[in-house]
Amino acid sequence: MLGKELAQKAQIPANYLAKILLSLKNAGLLNTARGSKGGYWLAREPKSIRLIEIVKIFEQSATPTPCILGADLCSEEQPCSAHDKWHAIRRAYTEFLEATTIADLTSDDQRALAQAAATTSAPRTHA
């Protein structure tokens, strides 16, 4: 897919998208080609690309900060008032990123689009 076309579909500025695509290419997640038959495509199968790989490219850490309150002394031994709940959220977020692949997201979207198309294009009967 061409970057220009993708930027239009995603409704984001093309120059901003170009920086994102370059980062993904440099990380080995995308391949690119210039020219009339050029564009961008996944370098690996969607089922082999986990979201954690993508998040690590753009975030300093793939997991949220250890303490939501910013307490420097927060630890298992001396937890802050939000420690237990925040720890559970961090764990669930990390597990989601590690377990979810691009294919997992794509298949849900494709199913939803197919269902929507079937609903709108199905012949209607009158009672």
pLDDT digits (tens, 9 = 90+) for 95-127: 999 999 999 988 666 656 555 655 554 444 443
Phi, psi angle pair for 38, to nearest 5°: -85, -175
pLDDT digits (tens, 9 = 90+) for 82-98: 888 888 888 899 999 99
Cβ atoms of 63 and 112 closer than 8 Å: no
pLDDT digits (tens, 9 = 90+) for 55-90: 999 887 666 677 777 767 787 888 888 888 888 888
Among residues of the chain, what percentage have pLDDT more than 70? 79
Among residues of the chain, what percentage have pLDDT more than 90? 34
